[in-house]
Amino acid sequence: QPYGTLFGNAFLRDGNGNIVVNATGAPQTDPTKRVLGKYTPDWIGGISNTFSYKGVSLGVLIDASFGGSIYNGTYATGTYTGVLASTLPGRAAEFGGISYYYPGNVKANGTVRLADGASAPAGITVYDDGIIFDGVTTDGKRNEKILPAQTYYKSFRTIDEANIFDASYVKLREIKLSYNLPAKWIRPLSLQGVSVSLVGRNLAILHRNVDDIDPEVAFNTGNGQGLESLSNPTTRTYGINLNIRF
């Protein structure tokens, strides 16, 4: 495989590409490691422009990277712990959760879906955080097993494929506002020129295909590229430049 290839655990799939679930309705892991993508981008580029009027100039730098993939460790941990907004669907009836119960209130008996408007047997606890994973059983039938939301979201952490995302981004990398002091102000000081600039860097992510993180943080100067895990937010920086020409 070429440099930059990402390997890892993948969903077990049938011949039609459907994800195969186990007896409880949770996705199965393919026993063979699979190619999950590549972290090298298809192309990178940028736009730089400076607008000037009299002694004032405004410089803008936008850069972009398109293509490539990253492993999103923040998503893996966030879904497992339930702290991400993306884990809200299915966690209660108000979020689309399916009502179900355990026969005899014994979890080992498996889940039974409760039809709309129906009641569970007397003394049985009803839950409304059920989710059905979109997959097929080992015999090719559509999965109908209900998983508690917590079990559903926790199942993604150990399957790397579920945590692979597009690494593309477009960033407002820098804005620089400069003012050149008039020559008559600096002539008595025997200076050729003086300029003062306000500079802001890493000001905004204009486009990305992954939530909650900056995809660029998965890349560094080492050999472990394309891997992100609980990274800090990218820091905006602001500064003042003073340029003096003698």
Q: Which token pair is 70? A: 């990253």
pTM: 0.86
Query: What tens digit of pLDDT does each residue of 75-119 get?
Result: 999 999 999 999 999 999 999 999 999 999 999 999 999 988 889
Q: How far apart are CA 172 and CA 199, in angstroms?
A: 12
- Domain map (residue ranges) of the chain: 5-83+149-245
**Cα Rg, the chain, nearest whole Å:** 27
pLDDT, tens digit, for every residue of 211-223?
Answer: 999 999 988 767 7
Token pair for residue 228?
């992100």
Q: Is the torsion defined by CA of 214, 218, 220, 226 positive or negative?
A: negative
